[in-house]
Structure 1
Amino acid sequence: MIDSAPSVIRKPTSYRWELLILLWLAFFLNQADRQIFSVVLPLIRQDLGLTDAELGLIASALVWTYGLLVPIAGFIGDRFSRRNILGFCLLFWSGATLFTGTCSSVVQFILLRGVGTGGGEAFYAPSANALLGETYRENRSLALSIHQTAVYFGIVLSGLIAGYIGEHYGWRNAFYLFGGLGIALAVVFFSRIPKETSPDRDGDTEVAFPEILTTARLIVRKPTVVLLTLGFGCMVFVNVGYLTWMPLFLVDKFTMSLTDAGFSALFYHHLGAFLGVLSGARLADYFARANPRSRLIIQALGLLLASPFIYWISMSQTQTMTYVALFGFGLFRGWYDSNIVASLYEVVSPTVRSTAYGLMLACAFLIGSSAPYLLGVLKPTLGLTLGLASLSGVYALGGLLIGSGAIWFFENDREVNL
């Protein structure tokens, strides 16, 4: 059965900070390993002669794998040592990343990057967030917020570092570097972080699948949860498509170097997202005191306000205007990001929150996973400019879905939170 008591109640301060630092580095590599393919994509295309559709399929394979496995990862994280799960998944995805540097065919890329890297990364977030939440019981929000910043640093710095290495030393060495760093970090993690001891975590997984089905039946009865999930799927669809193709878009449109394109495509957007997360959370917390539906409204406004900036990114004629649009897109995307979990928790019982979030992640990533492939298929005829511009409509759709949930269904679906 699921453990009812936390396995880590109180640890020395030195241990707690060491755990947070090591998990921050692991999450950094988690995001970096996911992004470097997009950064060096022009070099892979040139070296191996892959089509745009094949490159898009490789990118989509990772998201498909992640979406399928993340609910299972959440249940496994409740039944086995989270320290072991985190160490082994870091070792697994880093090894897959390293060997991606040896790939020479579409099938090899799909197996190593899509299934290997994506499958390993799926097991990270559920166990990492749970372990940090148990360890930092008195200042949980601070620890999780610090951990979350690794997303922005991982994506941005991977663009800069992978672009430079690919441009000067070949794209394969970018995978070798990041994969090797992950393997070294896994060794350090196993040597420094002790295994939790809990009599409740006995590895019983027989009830996992029935529990997933039971929870799924409960949450799909709530229209607000369904609309939040569909809105999340729209956001993932746009963001995965943007992250995959934006570096190549800048290379082709402005004849930028790979290093500059990799950095610029990611830095301005995620700078805006960082500020948006902070401001969106403050706004939502302030207005939610009087009206909890404000969290959903902030999310809907974030997607709707970001939509024209996505169109502007594609249609801007200068690099400066493109960067301004990337910043605006990120700023309002941050408003949405700041309340993903908080909005769901308003309409989901505390007893099924972890499972509900895992299912929401799975559905959203499965919806969004097709974006890189579709944009790759359409690129030869529609072009990246119009393809990326069309993503603005998907963001607007997501905003309308969440807004309709806030207006028409929230009051009936709302849970009294404990």
Structure 2
Amino acid sequence: MIRYSARNNLSLRSFNWELIVLLWLVFFFNQADRQIFNVILPQIKAALKLTDAELGMIASVFIWAIGLCVPLSGYIGDVFSKKKVIIFSLLLWSTATFFTGLSAGLVHLIVLRAVVGSSESFYAPAANALIAEKYQEKTGLAMAIHQTALYAGIIISGLSGALIAERFGWSTAFYFFGGIGIILSIVLFVRFKKIIAPDTVQTTYKVTLFDGIMGLFRKKTAILLTLAFACMVFVNVGYLTWSPTFLHEKFNLSLANAGFSSMFYHHIFAFLGVLLGGRFSDQLVKKTAGSRLKLQALGLLLACPFIYLMGSANQLFWVYAGMGLFGFFRGIYDSNIYASLFLVIPPTIRASVSGAMIMFAFLIGAFAPWILGIVKPTLGLSDGLSALSIVYLAGSIFIFIALKFTLSKELYIAAQTDKI
């Protein structure tokens, strides 16, 4: 049972709720605009006469677009106004999502999904750096609350996107989510002026385009965290792309039911896991700096058997149990992705380094839907999804290596640098 002191209650009352709510809404549509494509894959496949490999390739191109653009996005997030970068990103990806509904073939989908992916890449580095800046004593909690938007966006788009597609056609789902995102960008333009102070110009250090990659490779802990993040992204992208089709084909669920069920059980438990992970990590890190990494490593490790169960079970109850517990431990990991990274990264280049981290993780993770699409006709989605547990195991090993060999030394160096 969690006990809150009067001091804790006071700090929560002084918490900037409007900013985190607005960022939550942006991140919600960031994820919803990604997931509606995955949910309505069967309709798009039938309407445009595409193959499984082509659908997997479209999903992979989307992730590659994020990975290739995000280093530039991180640099821009450090150099320019973070709030303007966030608004621009939201407006551009929402517009591209809207026009995705007009696609008439493979080339159109590839181009528009690449535009959505590249414009979405500007959001995460700027938003995470802004959260770390504005919520210094509650970083874990603020990032955990922000992360819940990922799960809510995927769950709600999984249901509503499928229902809209079944009743009004797959194009309408893109019109709906893209249109709301455009309206939200206008709301942000008005409100950010009032709740975020003007950005101060950095004069002590000039950020360059290559600081993100160089800053990442200077820290062995950051490299290991990036490898673990790549493992998570690989599994996540493969799961998000193919789990609705897995339920639709293996258990003959309707498109709406498969889209909802594949997203709901996993992400509702991830919602709980990320809040618990964020809340406890803020307390534990006061005693041991490595607590954030320990929670992440355990989250990946404990999720492994449930990923295997999800793909191998032949009864829906056990499939959903696997999805749910996989989601819970994934949420434990997710709660400290950037908070752990920022332990060894100075504030001046946090957006740039997180951008580099996202780039490498997404370039690797982008292969998952394509690979699963290629092996689907022979190996099958059941075995393909179960095999993803091995990737999560590798991710946990990378973090344990960081805890054992690199973190303490780099935390000491960072502390000595701060004193100078």
| TM bucket, shorter chain | 0.7 to 0.9
Q: SS at the partner of 1:66? A: helix
The residue number in structure 1 matching 2:4 is none
The residue number in structure 2 matching 1:109 is 109
- Tell me whether 1:386 sits opposite 2:387 in the alignment: no
The residue number in structure 2 matching 1:38 is 38
- Tell me whether 1:361 sits opposite 2:362 in the alignment: no
The residue number in structure 1 matching 2:6 is none
Contact 1:80–1:201 (CA under 8 A) maintained in structure 2: no
The residue number in structure 2 matching 1:164 is 163
Q: CA–CA distance in 2 between the matches of 1:282 and 1:410?
A: 22
The residue number in structure 2 matching 1:260 is 257
Contact 1:95–1:180 (CA under 8 A) maintained in structure 2: yes
Contact 1:73–1:122 (CA under 8 A) maintained in structure 2: yes
Can you list the C-alpha shifts for 1:21-71, whole angstroms capped at 9, x where unaligned?
433222211110011000000111122121111101111111111112222
Distance 1:83 1:298, change over 3 A: closer
Distance 1:249 1:206, change over 3 A: same
Amino acid at match of 2:254: S
The residue number in structure 2 matching 1:227 is 224
Q: CA–CA distance in 2 between the matches of 1:166 and 1:304?
A: 37
Q: SS at the partner of 1:208? A: coil
The residue number in structure 1 matching 2:333 is 336
Amino acid at match of 2:84: N
Q: CA–CA distance in 2 between the matches of 1:207 and 1:139?
A: 26
Amino acid at match of 1:176: Y
The residue number in structure 2 matching 1:397 is 394
Q: CA–CA distance in 1 between the matches of 2:132 and 2:294?
A: 27
Higher alpha-carbon deviation: 180-189 or 56-65: 180-189
Contact 2:71–2:359 (CA under 8 A) maintained in structure 1: yes
Higher alpha-carbon deviation: 237-246 or 354-363: 354-363
User: Aligned ranges for residues 152-231 of structure 1 at < 5 Å?
Assistant: 152-194=151-193, 197-198=198-199, 200=201, 208-219=208-219, 222=220, 224-231=221-228
Q: CA–CA distance in 1 between the matches of 2:140 and 2:404?
A: 29
Amino acid at match of 2:390: G
The residue number in structure 2 matching 1:94 is 94
Higher alpha-carbon deviation: 284-293 or 224-233: 284-293
Q: CA–CA distance in 2 between the matches of 1:286 and 1:20?
A: 20
Q: SS at the partner of 1:25? A: helix
Q: CA deviation at 1:161?
A: 0.3
- Normalising by structure 1, what TM-score? 0.87
Q: CA–CA distance in 2 between the matches of 1:184 and 1:282?
A: 32
Q: CA–CA distance in 2 between the matches of 1:302 and 1:134?
A: 26
- Tell me whether 1:324 sits opposite 2:325 in the alignment: no
The residue number in structure 1 matching 2:239 is 242
The residue number in structure 2 matching 1:146 is 145
Distance 1:228 1:197, change over 3 A: closer
The residue number in structure 2 matching 1:47 is 47
Q: CA–CA distance in 2 between the matches of 1:139 and 1:413?
A: 23
Q: CA–CA distance in 2 between the matches of 1:346 and 1:101?
A: 42
Contact 1:81–1:201 (CA under 8 A) maintained in structure 2: no
Amino acid at match of 2:156: L
Higher alpha-carbon deviation: 190-199 or 124-133: 190-199
Q: CA deviation at 1:132?
A: 4.8
Distance 1:225 1:128, change over 3 A: closer
Q: CA deviation at 1:249?
A: 0.4
The residue number in structure 2 matching 1:274 is 271
Q: SS at the partner of 1:381? A: coil
Q: SS at the partner of 1:382? A: coil
Contact 1:78–1:201 (CA under 8 A) maintained in structure 2: no
Higher alpha-carbon deviation: 123-132 or 29-38: 123-132
Q: CA–CA distance in 2 between the matches of 1:381 and 1:65?
A: 28
Q: CA–CA distance in 1 between the matches of 2:137 and 2:129?
A: 14
Q: CA–CA distance in 1 between the matches of 2:386 and 2:268?
A: 21
Q: CA–CA distance in 2 between the matches of 1:110 and 1:38?
A: 14
Higher alpha-carbon deviation: 288-297 or 80-89: 288-297
Contact 2:131–2:143 (CA under 8 A) maintained in structure 1: yes
Amino acid at match of 1:187: I
Amino acid at match of 1:300: A
Distance 1:210 1:364, change over 3 A: closer
Question: 5+ residue gaps in structure 2?
Answer: 1-12
The residue number in structure 1 matching 2:72 is 72
Amino acid at match of 1:404: I
Q: CA–CA distance in 1 between the matches of 2:136 and 2:278?
A: 20
Q: CA–CA distance in 2 between the matches of 1:111 and 1:407?
A: 44
RMSD across aligned positions (CA): 2.7
Can you list the C-alpha shifts for 1:253-282, whole angstroms capped at 9, x where unaligned?
111111111111111111111222233345
Contact 2:301–2:396 (CA under 8 A) maintained in structure 1: yes
The residue number in structure 2 matching 1:407 is 404
Q: CA deviation at 1:343?
A: 2.6
Q: CA deviation at 1:189?
A: 2.7
Q: CA deviation at 1:290?
A: 4.4
Q: CA deviation at 1:144?
A: 4.2
Contact 2:77–2:351 (CA under 8 A) maintained in structure 1: no
Match of 1:306 among 296, 303, 308: 303
Q: SS at the partner of 1:78? A: helix
Amino acid at match of 2:26: A
